[in-house]
Structure 1
Amino acid sequence: MSTRDFWHLQDWNDLASVRARLAGGESPTARWGSFEETPLHLAAAAGAAEAVTAMLAYTREVDIPDERGRTPLWWAVEHLQEQTVQLLLEAGADAWRPCVGAWTPGRLALTTGLAPLVAGTPGAVPLTVAQRAEQARADRLISVFSAEKIHTEGLGVTFTDVLGEEEVIRRLGADPAECPVFQQDSEMDQMDLFDAGGNYAVGVTGTALGCIVSQPFSNALDDDELARRLAPATTYSLFFNPKGGTFGRLYRDGTVIRHEEIGSLTPCADAPPEHWLYRFWQQPCIPFPHEDANLLAYACAMGGITKATARDCWALSHGPRRIVRCR
């Protein structure tokens, strides 16, 4: 049996198997896989405390990095595995070792329930008051988009700092008087609303700091055209491609200044700081109450809407306040 081929299939609850493999000469720090991770990385991420304990008896390379520089402790933190984080720290893992750019496992842990485990470790760098406040604002926005299930497959949504539904409707080229306000409720059928609107219909819902423009069943109105119509404004358009991938575009006054694919992969060293702030580093096995809540919150904030309420999110979970025919 090859470490390279089979550790990723290991049943971490089968401790006898793990011990037998280690006793048979298989290394807990042999690199393999697309990220050159080791069995110790995998066990740490899985929260397999007994397996990690067994592996630590066979190696002193507790901070062995994968291809991107991430240690087993990093993997345990990004999967929020308290037991294996504790074991690795007790074995001498460095919580403040830079792994991805300047980012450390300890820095990530301080924004989670794991904070008490790393706060007093050697080299600890506490969060500043400003950093705590910034993270709290981001987490509040994530919680807003976690309030209810939002079907995101195929969803196109644009967040903009243009104030007022009527102003957005006018910029889209329609007459507000011809776009009545719907009574939003839990029984609203978005499909019926958009079918009645025809092709190139979008939903418009006002918030205290801007508007949400939604296309839940298609991305018929091109992001570039939508941004040009809404200008001058800050807009962020997000598209959950049903064929795979989630893509975002940030516009300033109709000009695209950032085009990116976002999702659950750990951000790169040169990623915008907002990717870390909105927890793109947390792995999908640790879901938010709604799995895309952090992506929607990020897009909302990048579009200039830094505060929202659960009722604002009805624009995506139940339906918009108004339907606008754009052509």
Structure 2
Amino acid sequence: MVVAEGAGWSGMGWQPWTDLDRIRARLDAGADPDSGEGFDPPPLHLAAQEGSPEVVAELAGRVDDVDAQDEGRTALWRAVYFGRFDNARALVAAGADPWRPMMAGWSPGRLSLAGPTPDLFAPPAGGIGLSDAETAAAAEARRLTAALGDFRDPYDDGMGLACVAGISAAEAARRLEATPIEDTGPGSLPDDLSSHEVLYIVGAADVPGGCVISQPWGYVPSMPEVTDPLSAGTVCYGLYDNPKSGNQGSISRDGVTEDRDLYPGGEPSADDSADEILASYLYRDHAVAYSCAYAGLRLTDARAITSPDVWLHLPSHHYWR
């Protein structure tokens, strides 16, 4: 028999919340159904996100409050956000409230209206719907993520992007004092991607709504020395897919870095705005699409990133402070 220590969930982590027998053994040995281990969310929240409907139902029958919040959201909210709709149904069957207000007005039920299962929950009396702008944002997210598809190496791991609203690739080159590389045939670009020289080479392409500066092998497009001048009079979203720490986002507006160390495509914070929470849901695990959408770019495919219109050589005199 498992002997409970602390809250009784030591060693569980995020897995395996699909093993009903294992979860029952922990609970029967005294594990606390209402308390996580260390910095982990409560068990019901972990099960809602990672587990099975059977485990969710078991925990929901043992907790003090099926709608207890962690970081501003309930277990049901997590189930909806992570697309675990069977778990969401199990929580509602256990008494969870889909329309309980939270997360800047995005209750679990209202959040589901923007996703692939708008009929997941019975509507409340009086009705709760999406605004026209929210409906349009959801439709554009479906279109954009489908248009971009799934990125594969070398266009995801270690890639850098700058998504700029309202300017052309030619204007971006001017702002960056970059020189177009006329000869892009065999041997014209460095073969050694570990060389320092490749950091000065970026791709540029015009897209509906603005332009994209890309670098399949490096972080340079996301540097403030690039995003700040690009954002003069407009907005630029920078993205670096750091192989060590994951996606890193930044916002530059009108020539100034507004925010850094963001997590595009990741779970939102409790203090995020309503628009930020919606975008996080619509572009979950789609960091490139999130970055493009933030700048209002409406790409029709991924060629602007994988096959830029032009390669640019950046000047070396001011890119490393």
Q: TM-score, normalised by structure 1?
A: 0.78
Question: Does the alignment pair 1:308 with 2:308?
Answer: no
| Whole-Å separation in 1 of the counterparts to 2:144 and 2:103 | 25
User: Any idea what the Cα deviations from partners look like across 1:185-215, whole Å, max 9, x if unmatched?
Assistant: xx9x9864988x8551221111232211112
| Whole-Å separation in 2 of the counterparts to 1:56 and 1:229 | 52
TM-aligned CA deviation for residue 20 of structure 1: 4.1
CA RMSD of aligned residues (A): 3.5
CA gap 1:171/1:55 in 2 versus in 1, 3 angstroms = closer
TM-aligned CA deviation for residue 13 of structure 1: 4.7
| Whole-Å separation in 2 of the counterparts to 1:51 and 1:199 | 49
Question: Does the alignment pair 1:322 with 2:280?
Answer: no
CA gap 1:141/1:111 in 2 versus in 1, 3 angstroms = same
CA gap 1:120/1:47 in 2 versus in 1, 3 angstroms = farther
Instruction: Name the counterpart of 1:15.
Output: 20
Aligned length: 307
Does the CA contact (< 8 Å) of 1:64 and 1:72 recur in 2?
Answer: yes
1:216 is matched by which residue type in structure 2?
P
| Whole-Å separation in 1 of the counterparts to 2:241 and 2:15 | 33
| Whole-Å separation in 2 of the counterparts to 1:9 and 1:103 | 25
- 1:1-327 to structure 2, matched below 5 A, reads 1-2=3-4, 3-8=8-13, 11-35=16-40, 37-59=41-63, 61-66=65-70, 68-121=71-124, 125-146=128-149, 148-149=151-152, 151-174=155-178, 179-180=181-182, 192=191, 199-220=199-220, 223-227=223-227, 229-230=229-230, 231-263=232-264, 265-279=266-280, 291=285, 294-305=286-297, 307-310=298-301, 313-317=302-306, 319-327=307-315
Structure 1: give runs of 5+ residues left out of the alignment: 284-290
Structure 2: give runs of 5+ residues left out of the alignment: 316-321
Q: Which has the higher contact order (CA 8 A, sep 6+)?
A: 1
Does the CA contact (< 8 Å) of 2:235 and 2:252 recur in 1?
Answer: yes
User: Any idea what the Cα deviations from partners look like across 1:140-167, whole Å, max 9, x if unmatched?
Assistant: 2222222543632322211123543333
| Whole-Å separation in 2 of the counterparts to 1:130 and 1:268 | 22
| Whole-Å separation in 2 of the counterparts to 1:174 and 1:17 | 59
1:323 is matched by which residue type in structure 2?
W
| Whole-Å separation in 1 of the counterparts to 2:189 and 2:113 | 40
CA gap 1:191/1:92 in 2 versus in 1, 3 angstroms = farther
Q: TM-score, normalised by structure 2?
A: 0.79
Does the CA contact (< 8 Å) of 2:105 and 2:274 recur in 1?
Answer: no
CA gap 1:27/1:93 in 2 versus in 1, 3 angstroms = same
Task: Give the SS at the match of 2:97.
Answer: coil
% same residue: 31
1:58 is matched by which residue type in structure 2?
R
| Structure 1 stretch displaced more, 113-122 or 210-219 | 113-122
CA gap 1:47/1:255 in 2 versus in 1, 3 angstroms = same
Does the CA contact (< 8 Å) of 2:15 and 2:50 recur in 1?
Answer: no
Does the CA contact (< 8 Å) of 2:158 and 2:241 recur in 1?
Answer: yes
Does the CA contact (< 8 Å) of 1:80 and 1:114 recur in 2?
Answer: no
1:239 is matched by which residue type in structure 2?
Y
User: Any idea what the Cα deviations from partners look like across 1:245-275, whole Å, max 9, x if unmatched?
Assistant: 4332322332222334214553123324443
CA gap 1:122/1:91 in 2 versus in 1, 3 angstroms = farther
